[in-house]
Amino acid sequence: MPWNTIVAPVDSERIRRALVIPAEKQWMDLIRSAQARIERDCPDAIVTIQELLDNLEGNRTSRYQAYGDAGYALIKADVLEWEPGKNAGLDTLQEEWKRELSEALMIEPPDRGYGTLSRS
- The verdict on residue 1 lying in a domain is no
- The verdict on residue 118 lying in a domain is no
The pTM assigned to this predicted structure is 0.67
Domain tally, the chain = 1
- The verdict on residue 39 lying in a domain is yes
- The verdict on residue 28 lying in a domain is yes
Percent of all residues in the chain with a pLDDT value above 90, rounded to a whole number: 34
- State phi, psi for 39 to the nearest 5 degrees: -60, -40
- The verdict on residue 119 lying in a domain is no
- The verdict on residue 120 lying in a domain is no
- The verdict on residue 3 lying in a domain is no
Cα–Cα distance, 19 to 13 (Å, whole number): 10
Q: pLDDT by residue (tens digit) across 103-117? A: 888 888 776 554 444
Domain extent for 100: 11-105
